[in-house]
């Protein structure tokens, strides 16, 4: 299963990406836009999820739109989930210890593409091979 080292390796391989750790929580940004981040559950999240609240590492990731989010939730609820905090927002939560590194790579690249400036994303797509 995937680790934070996998997240870091995949995210930092993408053009113009940097890692920040506001309040000690890692997040990855392209230009000034966040696309993936560590997302510890908050008290309200734990209350909303109840017994279904995961206890492992959680990654937050931007998605292209809420439709993509809904598709991921329907496709693999053992890996992807959300909380009321993210209702109507194009982001998904990921149980990092349940996602395969190859799928994580696809998710991170898609998150990056959703946030990168259009010209940068176009250049990336034209000049790169898929991430592992």
Q: What is the pTM of this model?
A: 0.93
Domains belonging to the chain, first-starting first, are 4-122 (3.90.1150.30)
Of 62, 58, 55, the C-alpha closest to 29 is: 62
CA 78 to chain centre: 15
pLDDT value at residue 130? 58
List, in sequence order, every residue forming a beta bridge with 92; answer none if it has no partner.
Answer: 61
What's the confidence (pLDDT) of residue 128?
Answer: 80
In the chain, the percentage of residues whose pLDDT exceeds 90 is 92
Per-residue pLDDT of the chain (132 residues; tens, 9 = 90+): 999 999 999 999 999 999 999 889 999 999 999 999 999 999 999 999 999 999 999 999 999 999 999 999 999 999 999 999 999 999 999 999 999 999 999 999 999 999 999 999 999 999 986 554
Residue written as tokens 């997040």? 27
Closest CA to 28 of 122, 129, 112, 117: 112
């Amino acid at each position: 299963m995937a680790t934070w080292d996998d997240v870091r390796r995949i995210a930092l391989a993408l053009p113009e990406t940097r890692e920040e750790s506001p309040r000690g929580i890692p997040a990855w940004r392209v230009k000034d836009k966040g696309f993936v981040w560590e997302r510890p559950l908050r008290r309200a999240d734990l209350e909303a999820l109840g017994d279904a609240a995961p206890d492992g590492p959680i990654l937050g990731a931007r998605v292209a739109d809420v439709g993509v989010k809904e598709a991921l939730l329907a496709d693999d609820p053992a890996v992807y989930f959300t909380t009321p905090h993210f209702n109507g927002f194009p982001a998904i939560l990921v149980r990092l210890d349940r996602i395969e590194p190859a799928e994580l790579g696809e998710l991170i690249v898609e998150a990056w593409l959703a946030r990168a400036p259009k010209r940068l994303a176009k250049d990336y797509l034209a000049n790169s091979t898929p991430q592992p």
